[in-house]
A and B are shown apart, each in its own frame.
Chain A
């Protein structure tokens, strides 16, 4: 069974640019969550999508957005990049509904560096 796939693994952008990150969940998983990981803040929850709808949202500015497609693949976008957006962005998928214990299956992450 293929795991969670994130692309790209590494990318470098400059301030003011925008970036789009992609995540393909495990087959059959309908919930996709995104996290930002930085040394100072740890794991911060960005948002969660289920059946193409944003179901939960963390405390991030509107520059951070996401979407989910009908095949459960998800993308997140960060516009007007700032230096502080440099981080490892992690995608995680999980089962949904009554089977959802909250166990997450993570991808390897996309490491974004903003110069």
Chain B
């Protein structure tokens, strides 16, 4: 079964600073990877996804992630965060023949003014 580890439960950062949210997944022959964002009292929405091809994936709101097969990582980055980026971020993977993605425990990004 797939597993996804988000290494930080909470990441505080100041506005306009860069941020990296870390995600590691269990290896699979083929894997699809996702980052979702959840704002307070809302459902999750897709930030970006890796299906195949270029290992650098760009998403909405200025976020990007890099697929690293050798390190089984899919870290999320943003060069300059805004207060409005304060939210919960979930990494997910789908692979190994399962239709169901596996989610990490989430990372709370807190942006301070």
Contact between chains at A101 and B43 (CB < 8 Å)? no
| Interface residue tally for chain B (C-beta within 8 Å) | 22
Alpha-carbon distance A6/B94, docked complex (angstroms): 24
Contact between chains at B44 and A106 (CB < 8 Å)? yes
Given contacts A101-B51, A101-B94, is CB(A4)–CB(B100) below 8 Å?
Answer: no
Contact between chains at A102 and B99 (CB < 8 Å)? yes
Q: For chain A residues 35-51, which have a beta carbon within 8 Å of chain B?
A: 35, 42-43, 45, 48
Q: For A4, what are the chain B residues with a Cβ–Cβ distance below 8 Å?
A: 43
Q: For A33, what are the chain B residues with a Cβ–Cβ distance below 8 Å?
A: 100
Q: Which of B41, B42, B98, B101 meets A104, CB within 8 Å? A: B101
Question: Can you name the residue of chain B whose Cβ is closest to the Cβ of A45?
Answer: B100
Question: Can you name the residue of chain A whose Cβ is closest to the Cβ of B31?
Answer: A102
Q: Name B's A-contacting residues (CB within 8 A).
A: 32, 34, 36, 41-46, 49, 51, 90, 92, 94, 98-101, 103-106
Q: Name A's B-contacting residues (CB within 8 A).
A: 4, 6, 31, 33, 35, 42-43, 45, 48, 55-56, 90, 92, 100-109, 111
